[in-house]
Amino acid sequence: MFSEKISSVEGLKNVAAKLIGQFPNHRVFALYGKMGSGKTTFIQAICNSLGSDDNVTSPTFAIINEYKTTDFSSLFHFDFYRIEDIEEAYDLGYEDYIYSGSYCFIEWPEMIESLLPENFIEVKIEVLDDESRVISAKIKS
């Protein structure tokens, strides 16, 4: 089990690197949190820690963004908030990404939870009263 508390955006990069280090053999990370909890900002920190200098933005309308690292590896960022039917994930070809061996970061995984592979990393972002965040993660089978 992974758990870190952060009180500023500056702390995200360190926590992002720790998260990836905690689960070195995993590639699918599903991020759970309320709207505005910082899922996209945290994914940006993770992508930066993995060596991407790309502009990481929420793929709310595109559903998926691809970022490249300095060694030209692909990082995939999904946002399933706007899908209305699980068939949309099939139409997108989600399997090609999820089972590619590349890192996949998924916002709003609740919308496609039945499609997630075994042993994905469940990342929860909880906003506390003082606006700090607790980021916790565990292997979900």
pLDDT tens digits, 29-45: 999 999 999 999 999 99
| pLDDT at residue 81 greater than cutoff 90 | yes
In tens, the pLDDT along 85-112 reads 999 999 999 999 999 999 999 999 999 9
Length of the chain equals 141
- In this prediction, residues 127-135 reach a mean pLDDT of 96
| pLDDT at residue 61 greater than cutoff 90 | no
Q: How much of the chain exceeds pLDDT 70, in percent?
A: 100
pLDDT at 60: 85
Q: Please give the DSSP secondary-structure letter assigned to residue 84.
A: S
Amino acid identity for residue 60 in this structure:
T
- In this prediction, residues 133-139 reach a mean pLDDT of 98
- The angle at the Cα of 26, spanning 23 to 27, to the nearest 5 degrees, equals 125
> Quick one: CA dihedral 26, 49, 97, 79, positive or negative?
positive
Instruction: Mention the CATH class of domain 2-140.
Output: alpha beta
- In this prediction, residues 61-79 reach a mean pLDDT of 96
